A and B are shown apart, each in its own frame.
Chain A
Amino acid sequence: MRNVWVILKKEFYTYFSSPIVYTILFIFLLLSGYFFYSNVAYYSLMSFQASQWMGANFNPITWVIQPLFGNMSVVLLLLLPLLTMRVFSEEKKQGSMELICSYPIRNLDLILGKFLGCVGVYTLMLGCTLVYPLILWWLGVGEWGVFFSGYLGLLLLGSSFIAFGVFVSTLTENQVVAAALTFGLLLLFWIINWVGYIADSPLSKICENISLISHFQHFTKGIIDTTDIVFYLTFIIFGLFLSLRSLETQRLRGLL
């Protein structure tokens, strides 16, 4: 566990000593700030007319918070592969895997340290957006429950992206390849539930259940379902397990 902590701290150091985190954080806050502003502005514009004929359906949860989390999750799908692409690819390219392998640490510690380092940076990114519920509360909309479940959902969804990204970055020493592959495959996992519209029952059911987005939608509505939590945790553990296998196989074959 101590080694995990040492690696985690080093990862943090690396992220913050290079422009990666600052750039990603800037873009993330810019885009989600824009979405938040436009959602709130549109809601207030509509509220004058719509409340009369839409009644109870017209509320800030469905018109502001849900779309905000939806939009943030798409931005994360684009940005998190850029955060994870360097994790192992950079080490492989620089040849520092050779040195790390000579240190008395287990591969699992290395992977956990790097994963948690990434999750730490990601949590910080999410932390910066906590001003949105505060602003809404200041405006008189104190929907804490929905925000809590939404953030929990985002954290789990983002961690799944990261676990998968860590795995992909063990496969190649080229960071661009790692990012492109992570983004592409995650997008596939995202939209795989579309098969549900065209395929028959067993296949459509499976595709819907392994889709990353269909599990996330519950969280944005304020529903915390253990099925969804278990799904994301399984996805994370599977990603980390694949990373571990990938490292060990490459080590055995002398490909690191």
Chain B
Amino acid sequence: MVCVMALKWNFFSTNLSYLDLNFSFFVILKKKENCLGQEKWRALLFAESIYILSKLEGTMIEVFGVSKSFGKRQVLKDISFTIQKGQIVGFLGPNGAGKTTTMRILTGFFPPDKGTIKVAGHDMFTNPIEVKKRLGYLPEHNPLYLEMTVEGYLRFVARIKGVNGKRETQRIQEVMASCGLEGVRNRLIKRLSKGYKQRVGLAQALVNDPEILILDEPTVGLDPKQITEIRQLIKNLAAQKTVILSTHILPEVNMVCNRVIIINKGEVVAEDTPENLTSQKGQVEILLKAPSKAEIKRGLESISGVKDLKISQEGEFYRLLISFSPHDDLRPVLVEEVVKHGWKLYEISSRRLSLEEVFVQLVTEEAS
């Protein structure tokens, strides 16, 4: 009974990818029914349902086929991604790429023209209140009620987010402690420095102890010390919360995030861990001894897939920088070629790109 209900529930899931997944499971299971016998088949069906459920549970945010236009200007073009529970995801992109629009759609500020969004299993449009109960949002311009005191403001936000009674005071104390606001609790927000205002913004996002935290450029305009503090604060949340952090400060992503989504001109152009993104296999550095530059050039340029070859002489050695498409790994072929010619190989290493380089590469690739 449980498994049938679980499968049913999955079938009604609006997300097409899951529907597809469930459908294929169902087909496989149906085929196995004949050869396994009823009892074993049921056990298998049950196990598979649990598996699907657990997979679904791990997914905090599912964005599927989302598009948005303002007038004739299309800001988002069919964006899809999923974010797992507990991840800190950096949302990168040049100005005007559609970062803020995506965040606004995720927080329910306006609906997309097309596509679905599910947060913690709830659909954003059929059940927005349930989704919003789980959200904490810090918008780009951090709009606070300047005429309120810090504590008064946090109390207002806590109440409106449905934090009740005893828990209200407790949560306010907790967020004020974790955001370092205890010293200014009775000050008017308009009298606070920018750094403190940003902390109040973060505190209001955190006050309902949300499962998901969406931060739109949280460190813009802060001094270096404040930036470090805010980053540390976000890092401390890592284990408990799912965080989406929009930024165009790339080192920040390296420091804080464990996954990156790069968006350009309204499309997702890359989605990976910062390590995987920076260790692009597209470039190799080789140190070798060979008779002449021309010979190296002749030998290596004949290999199909080599896009670019730079040779510099360092004493009796030659240092080569070879670029090729990131999709095919040419390292074994290169080594083979070196050995075939009888050159002496001293060093071969993949060149690690900085996130800046990857970013610029991806964004310009798209543009071209």
Contact = CB atoms under 8 A, between A and B. Distances in A.
A94 to B, nearest CB: 5
Interface in B144-191: 144-145, 147-148, 152, 156-157, 159-162
Interface string B98-121: 000000100111110000000000
B139 A251 contact: no
A22 to B, nearest CB: 14
A131 interface: no
Interface string B117-156: 0000000000011101101010101011101100010001
Nearest to B139: A98
- Which of B70, B144, B160 is most buried by chain A, counting CB atoms within 10 A of its CB? B160
Interface string A89-104: 0000011111101111
A7 B156 CA distance: 8
Contact of B160 (A95, A97, A105, A252): A105
Give chain B's interface residue range (CB within 8 Å of chain A): 20 to 34
Interface of B: 68, 70, 104, 107-111, 128-130, 132-133, 135, 137, 139, 141, 143-145, 147-148, 152, 156-157, 159-162, 204
A128 interface: no
B148 A106 contact: no
Contact of B156 (A10, A94, A98, A253): A10
Interface stretch (A12-20, A137-145, A190-198, A200-208): A12-20
Contact of B108 (A10, A14, A95, A101): A101
| Interface of chain A, main secondary structure | helix
- Which of A9, A17, A95, A254 is most buried by chain B, counting CB atoms within 10 A of its CB? A254
A7 to B, nearest CB: 7
Interface of A: 2-3, 6-7, 9-10, 13-14, 17-18, 94-99, 101-106, 251-254, 256
19 contacts: A6-B159, A9-B156, A13-B152, A14-B145, A14-B148, A18-B147, A94-B143, A97-B109, A98-B104, A98-B109, A98-B139, A98-B143, A101-B109, A104-B133, A105-B160, A251-B110, A251-B111, A254-B68, A254-B110
Given A3-B160, A252-B111, A106 B129 contact: yes
A105 B131 CA distance: 11
A104 B152 CA distance: 19
A17 B147 contact: yes
Contacts of B162: 104
Given A102-B109, A251-B109, A254-B104, 4 more contacts: A17-B147, A96-B144, A104-B128, A251-B110
A252 B204 CA distance: 25
A74 to B, nearest CB: 31
Contact of B139 (A14, A99, A252): A99
Nearest to A3: B160
A99 B132 CA distance: 11
Contacts of B144: 96
A6 B130 CA distance: 19
A98 B135 CA distance: 13
- Which of B109, B130, B162 is most buried by chain A, counting CB atoms within 10 A of its CB? B109
Contacts, number: 73
Nearest to A14: B147
B189 to A, nearest CB: 11
A102 B129 CA distance: 9
A253 B107 CA distance: 15
A12 to B, nearest CB: 11
A104 B132 contact: yes
Contacts of A18: 147
Nearest to A90: B145
Nearest to B105: A254
Contact of B107 (A3, A7, A96, A102): A102
A14 B144 CA distance: 12
A252 B112 CA distance: 8
Contacts of A105: 129, 160
Nearest to A94: B143
Contacts of B143: 94-96, 98-99
A11 to B, nearest CB: 10
B109 A6 contact: no
Given A94-B143, A95-B139, A99-B139, A252 B110 contact: yes
Given A3-B160, A6-B160, A98-B139, A254 B70 contact: yes
A158 B133 CA distance: 36
Given A251-B110, A254-B110, A103 B161 contact: yes
Nearest to B107: A102
A104 B159 CA distance: 10
B71 to A, nearest CB: 9
B244 to A, nearest CB: 13
Contacts of A6: 156, 159-160
Contacts of A17: 147-148
A9 B157 CA distance: 12
Contacts of B109: 97-98, 101-102, 251, 254, 256
Contacts of A103: 132, 157, 160-161
A252 B141 CA distance: 21
A10 B148 CA distance: 9
Contacts of A96: 143-145
Nearest to A6: B159
Contacts of A13: 148, 152, 156
Contacts of B132: 102-104
B286 to A, nearest CB: 52
Contacts of B147: 14, 17-18
